[in-house]
Structures are given as structure tokens and as C-alpha cells.
């Protein structure tokens, strides 16, 4: 077990290292930030000073070495545009993204499980079939376009929901949250639903497949024979058993929900990490791009590592095969 653990950790560190080189070298070849960040009327001396201050005069490998040393200290550089540490900028935006991703996941589960179970219980009915058709549509619809259509219907024509921003937030344990105020919830509804759409389709499929399988099992027959109400059979016995794959898949999907939040945040001008990265790419704010990519890569490596280690705890075959290989 320990061998596997160490091997897997080393792999994760290696991946992080490779990604850091790729990202750093890549990002620093995009363009010349001097042209964008320094006043065009500045004279030669001012330009030289600005380059020195930004550290752009050093050779690339030295810049990378400085970056690595600083990164180890938790300093990923200063934003050229905002002039505050990049990591601070990203951490400021992180709660908004996390809040959105978590709300979207909950929305997907709360809507998807009942719909999926219904479709699983009545697979041949009109309602069951339309739920499934809807889930296929949910997979095919481009997220950003659905977001625009939501804005068009609920913000422009009906005027029920606001289309941009987080609304009023309230401080909870030092974190600003939208979900705690009515105004914030109203702002949250459309973006969360938009982000939830893919998850919703996924949960519907999983719940339907699980339900169809579960109702044929002996324990359900036994519960029926015991004379339990069908509401209880479905709500307790079937429900508990279909939750296992759903929880697994949603755990794995959390990472991609955060990644896909980029699109939803751009559509709804949600002030999260995703919108920050798009703005930074357009402004060539390199430290922020590098810091964002490093943080998100790090998050993914940690998620994947945790999942792998959990599997190896649950399934001994995995760790034996890996320890040998």
C-alpha cells in the first residue's frame, strides 16, 4: 500500500512539474506584454525600468527558476494589470466559482434523480420517453447558447431574473456568498441551471438505468411481498441503491464542473475564476494566466490522486497490479 501511495504521489508531482514547464514556457511566448502594459508615450529609460521591475529582462530559464522558487513559497507573481499578487486575485474569485459549481451540482441531483427514477419506473410512457429525449438534448445543446436563451427568455422577455453578476452577497465565515440573500439567489438561478444542465442529463441517465435494474432485484420483490407501500420501496430501497454510482460520478465530475464554469461565468458575467482567466488571456496578464492554470492543474491532480487512492483502498487488485508494474 505504502509503495503504491509513494509511487502515485511521485507521479502526481512529476505531472505538476511537467505542466508547470509547459504552461510557463507557453504563456511566456504569447506576446510582448511590454507593448500593452507600458505607456506608449514612455521614453526609453522608463520602458527599461518597467521591464526590470516586471522581471522581463532576465533569460527565460532564470524567469522560470524564480517562478519555481517563488511558487514553492506560495507566490505566483503579481498581476500586471491589477498589481496585486496573482494568487490573491484568484483566491478572491474562487468562492464565487465554487458556490456556482456546488449549487449547480445540487440542482442537477435534486432535479435529475426524481426525473430519472420516474423515467426508470415508466420507461414506455410518454413522460418517461420525453424525459429521456430531454436528457439527450441536454447533452447536445451547447452550454453557452442555452445560457443566452435563458437570458433572452427570463431576463429580456419575462424580466423575472437578473442576467449579470452575483447580486447582493452576505459574509459567512469570511466568505462572501450569494446564496444567503434573496437577491443573490435570484442572480444564482440562471447560471446554476445553465451549468447544471449537463450534470442533470447525466444524473437522469444514471438514475434511470439504476432504477430499471433495481426494481428487478430480489430485495425489491421481497419488500413488495412484505406489503410495503410502493412509495416506501421506491423512496428508500431503490433510492439508496441507485445513489452509489451517482455519487461516484458526481465526485469525479466536480472538477470538470469547475472547468466548464468558464463558459457559464462568461455568459452571465459571474465574477469567478473562469471570467478572470478569460479577461486575463485577452489582456495578456501572464502571471494571472500562469497562476490560474497552475492552481486548476493542481486541483485536478489532487482530485485524481484522491480518487485513485480511494479506489486502491476499496479494491486491492488495483494496488497489487500497480505495485508490481
CB 108 within 8 A of CB 227: no
When binding is defined by CB under 8 A, the residue of 204, 234, 291, 296 that contacts another protein is: 296
Which of helix, strand or coil describes residue 76? coil
- In the complex with another protein, the residue whose CB is nearer, 103 or 296, is 296
CA 66 from centre of chain:
30
Considering the rule CB under 8 A, would residue 74 count as an interface residue with another protein? Answer: no
When binding is defined by CB under 8 A, the residue of 1, 6, 10, 137 that contacts another protein is: 137
| E-state strands within the chain | 170-172, 175-177
CA pair distance 97, 270, nearest whole angstrom: 8
When binding is defined by CB under 8 A, the residue of 37, 51, 281, 283 that contacts another protein is: 281
- In the complex with another protein, the residue whose CB is nearer, 169 or 194, is 194
Residue 280 C-alpha cell reads as 486575463
Could you tell me which stretch among 61-69, 112-120, 174-182, 288-296 binds another protein (CB under 8 A)?
288-296
Integer-rounded Cα Rg, in Å, for the chain is: 25
Partners of 78 in the β-ladder: 85
A 10 A CB-CB count for 310 gives 12
Question: Which residues within the stretch 6-65 sit at the binding site for another protein (CB under 8 A)?
Answer: 15, 22-23, 26-27, 29-31
Least Å distance, CB 167 to another protein, is: 17
* 261: CB partners within 8 A, 6+ apart: 97, 100, 101, 195, 270, 272, 273, 274
The contact pattern for another protein, residues 219-258, with x = CB under 8 A and - = no contact, is ------------------------------------xx--
- In the complex with another protein, the residue whose CB is nearer, 22 or 110, is 22
Looking at residue 84, the DSSP 8-state letter turns out to be: S
Least Å distance, CB 241 to another protein, is: 26
Residue 249 C-alpha cell reads as 460520478
Considering the rule CB under 8 A, would residue 259 count as an interface residue with another protein? Answer: yes
Least Å distance, CB 23 to another protein, is: 7
CA pair distance 198, 201, nearest whole angstrom: 5
The label of the residue with cell 438561478 reads 189
Least Å distance, CB 195 to another protein, is: 12
Per CB under 8 A, residues contacting another protein are 15, 22-23, 26-27, 29-31, 136-137, 139-145, 148-149, 151-152, 155-157, 163, 255-256, 259-260, 262-263, 266-267, 277-278, 281-282, 289, 293, 296-297, 300, 304, 325
Amino acid at each position: 500500500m505504502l509503495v503504491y501511495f509513494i509511487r502515485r504521489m511521485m507521479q502526481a508531482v512529476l505531472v505538476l512539474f511537467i505542466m508547470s514547464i509547459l504552461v510557463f514556457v507557453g504563456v511566456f511566448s504569447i506576446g510582448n506584454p511590454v507593448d500593452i502594459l507600458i505607456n506608449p508615450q514612455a521614453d526609453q529609460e522608463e520602458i527599461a525600468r518597467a521591464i526590470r521591475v516586471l522581471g522581463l529582462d532576465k533569460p527565460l530559464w532564470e524567469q522560470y527558476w524564480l517562478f519555481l522558487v517563488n511558487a514553492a513559497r506560495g507566490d505566483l507573481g503579481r498581476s500586471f494589470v491589477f498589481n496585486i499578487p496573482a494568487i490573491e486575485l484568484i483566491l478572491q474569485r474562487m468562492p464565487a466559482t465554487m458556490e456556482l459549481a456546488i449549487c449547480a451540482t445540487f440542482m442537477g441531483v435534486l432535479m435529475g434523480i426524481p426525473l430519472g427514477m420516474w423515467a426508470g419506473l415508466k420507461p414506455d410512457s410518454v413522460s418517461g420517453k420525453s424525459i429521456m429525449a430531454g436528457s439527450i438534448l441536454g447533452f447536445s445543446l451547447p452550454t453557452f447558447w442555452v445560457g443566452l436563451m435563458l437570458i433572452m427568455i427570463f431576463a429580456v422577455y419575462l424580466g423575472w431574473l437578473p442576467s449579470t453578476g452575483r447580486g447582493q452577497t452576505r459574509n459567512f465565515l469570511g466568505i462572501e456568498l450569494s446564496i444567503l440573500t434573496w437577491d443573490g439567489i435570484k442572480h444564482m438561478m440562471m447560471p446554476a441551471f445553465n451549468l447544471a444542465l449537463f450534470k442533470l442529463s447525466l444524473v437522469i441517465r444514471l438514475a434511470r438505468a439504476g432504477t430499471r435494474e433495481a426494481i428487478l432485484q430480489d430485495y425489491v420483490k421481497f419488500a413488495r411481498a412484505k406489503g410495503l407501500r410502493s412509495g416506501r420501496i421506491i423512496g428508500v430501497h431503490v433510492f439508496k441503491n441507485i445513489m452509489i454510482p451517482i455519487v461516484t460520478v458526481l465526485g469525479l465530475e466536480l472538477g470538470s464542473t469547475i472547468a466548464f464554469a468558464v463558459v457559464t461565468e462568461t455568459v452571465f458575467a459571474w465574477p469567478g475564476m473562469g471570467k478572470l482567466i478569460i479577461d486575463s488571456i485577452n489582456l495578456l496578464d501572464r502571471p494571472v494566466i500562469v497562476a490560474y492554470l497552475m492552481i486548476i492543474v493542481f486541483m485536478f491532480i489532487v482530485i485524481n490522486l484522491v480518487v485513485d487512492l480511494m479506489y486502491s483502498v476499496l479494491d486491492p487488485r488495483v494496488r497489487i497490479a500497480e505495485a508490481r508494474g
